Amino acid sequence: MVKGKKGPKGKKITLKVAKNCIKITFDGKKRLDLSKMGITTFPKCILRLSDVDELDLSRNLIRKIPDSISKFQNLRWLDLHSNYIDKLPESIGQMTSLLYLNVSNNRLTSNGLPVELKQLKNIRTVNLGLNHLDSVPTTLGALKELHEVGLHDNLLNNIPMSISKLPKLKKLNIKRNPFPKPDESEMFIDSIRRLENLYLVEEKDLCAACLRKCQNARDKLNRIKNMATTTPRKTIFPNLISPNSTAKDSWEDWRIRSTSS
């Protein structure tokens, strides 16, 4: 930047503009979509629209998220990916209705993740990929409803075992991190993979016909696995989507899947 010149002002968001950006999603939720608008600072006027269910501020130029974002008490879905954010506010822990949080492709460091994240007891999807994290906060291990975690493209040397013990974790993306030994990350992934073979209910709660059907399906899968032992191993969790600035414009499928499951 040339000395004496200010940075880009960005687009000014007024309350009227924000109201016109509210959409009704396929599942009947109110979504405030302010993505790709060249916004440089968090627009305070949108705090007057705190009854929305979803907020999309992705692909902008925002550097700071204020503590006042906690006024969105009904928010289930928050997308902040592809900005310049280096720290999340402590007040984010008060947004206990959140099911989905995407802060990938920012400038977050490990110190920029507040311990208050552990208060998001209902959250199912967290994407922290494409940042500058050199460690994973153990507080993530307290989020027992987590189904999907994105930690790809960071500076991680290890993953806390508390994450592998999350009871509902199905998908974990830890690609492109400088793990010292590939075997260690593979062992960790294996511990997550075993979750896919567990019953979602106890056997005693199934009727005889349902239990027999589940057992037959499991036996069939085991036979297929035994037949495929000589084939190259594929990526275990290829479906954890990692939206960033080069991603396609519509993430409707992911949003619906993450919030309705």
Q: Which residues pair with 32 in a beta bridge?
A: 22, 55
Q: Which amino acid is at 10?
A: G
How far are the Cα atoms of 157, 193, 257 from residue 235, in angstroms, in the given order?
Answer: 20, 11, 21
Q: What's the CA gap between 256 and 40, in Å, rounded?
A: 28
Strands 30-33 and 22-24: antiparallel
49 and 18 in contact (C-beta within 8 Å)?
yes
Which domains does the chain carry?
Answer: 22-173 (3.80.10.10)
3-state secondary structure of 22: strand
How far, in Å, CA of 138 to CA of 202, rounded? 29
Along the 261 residues of the chain, how does pLDDT read in single tens digits?
Answer: 444 444 456 678 999 999 999 999 999 999 999 999 999 999 999 999 999 999 999 999 999 999 999 999 999 999 999 999 999 999 999 999 999 999 999 999 999 999 999 999 999 999 999 999 999 988 899 999 999 999 999 999 998 888 888 999 999 999 999 988 665 556 555 555 544 433 344 454 456 666 666 677 667 666 655 655 544 444 444 454 445 444 444 445 555 555 555
Please state, in angstroms and as integers, the Cα–Cα distance from residue 28 to each residue in 52, 125, 235, following that order: 11, 20, 35
- Start-to-end CA span in the chain (Å): 46
* d(C-alpha 254, C-alpha 241), whole Å: 8
DSSP-assigned letter for residue 126: E
User: Looking at the chain, which runs of residues are DSSP E strands?
Assistant: 22-24, 30-33, 54-56, 77-79, 100-102, 125-127, 148-150, 171-173
pLDDT in tens, 18-41: 999 999 999 999 999 999 999 999
C-alpha dist (Å) from residue 176 to 80, 151, 180, 181, 255: 22, 9, 12, 13, 25
Contact between residue 97 and residue 73 where contact means Cβ atoms under 8 Å apart: yes
Q: Collapse the DSSP code of 151 into the 3-class scheme (helix H, G, I; strand E, B; otherwise coil) and give the result.
A: coil
| 34: amino acid identity, one letter | L
Rounded distance between C-alpha atoms, residue 63 and residue 205, angstroms: 51
DSSP alpha helix (H) spans, 26-147: none
3-state secondary structure of 15: helix
Tally the residues of the chain.
261
Tell me the per-residue pLDDT of 80-128, one tens digit each, with 9 for 90 and over.
999 999 999 999 999 999 999 999 999 999 999 999 999 999 999 999 9
| pTM value > 0.75 | no
